[in-house]
Amino acid sequence: MRPCLERFVAEGLIDAWGLTGIDHPDAIINLLADSPAPAVVQCIANAMDSPGALKFYYEAARPRDVIAAAQANNVGVMGIRAVQAGALTDAIDRDLPRDHPEVRDFNAAGEYRALAADLGMSAAVLGHRYALSLPGVDTVVLGAKNREELSGCLAAVDAEPLPGEIMERVDGCFPDR
C-alpha cells in the first residue's frame, strides 16, 4: 500500500497520506518509524487512553506510545475519540448494552465528571480541552452530533490549553490507565 500512496504523491494526485493508528500498537509504531513515514496518524487522544468499541485486538492500546512514535518521526497527530464515544460526557445519548465498552468506560468516569463539574465545564468540553492539550497532538477530530455539542467543541478549541495541574487532576481520575 505504501508504494502506491507514495506514487500518488510523486504524481501529484495527493499531497500526503496518513493512517489510522488505533490497531495493534507495535505494528503502527513500526510503520511510523519506517521510511517514508506517513504525514499524519489518527490516534486515540482521551484521558482514559481508551479506544472503546474500536478495540479489536488483544494487546493494550498504548495510544501515548503511538503519539510519541509519531513525534519522534515528525508525523502529525490527529487525535480522535476525545470524549470516547460519549463515555467522557455528562450522559451517554443512546441506548447501549450494559457490557458495551462505552458504558463500561462511562461507569468508570464518575470522578472525571465530578472534576469537570467542579471546574465549571461539561465533561465533553473538558475532554476536548484535555485532548487538545496532550503533548504531540496537533489537532482533534470532533465528533459533534448536534449544534449544542458543536458549540461545546468550539468553546474547547477557543480556550487556552489546560494547565499542567488540571491535566494531572484529570489523569488522577484514571490511575489504572
- Spell out the domains of the chain, with CATH numbers in brackets: 18-172 (3.20.20.100)
Write the pLDDT tens digit of every residue in 41-84: 999 999 999 999 999 889 999 999 999 999 999 999 999 999 99
pLDDT beyond 80 at 145: no
> So what's the pLDDT on residue 171?
97
- Binned at pLDDT 50, 70 and 90, residue 156 comes out as confident
> So what's the pLDDT on residue 173?
98
At 44, which helix (H) or strand (E)?
A: strand 40-44
- CA 98, CA 174: separation in Å to the nearest integer? 20
For 7, 32, 71, 129, 175, the CA distances from 111, given in Å and listed in that order, are 49, 35, 31, 17, 11
Orientation of helix 110-118 relative to helix 123-133, angle to 10°: 90
Write the pLDDT tens digit of every residue in 79-126: 999 999 999 999 998 899 999 999 999 999 999 999 999 999 999 999
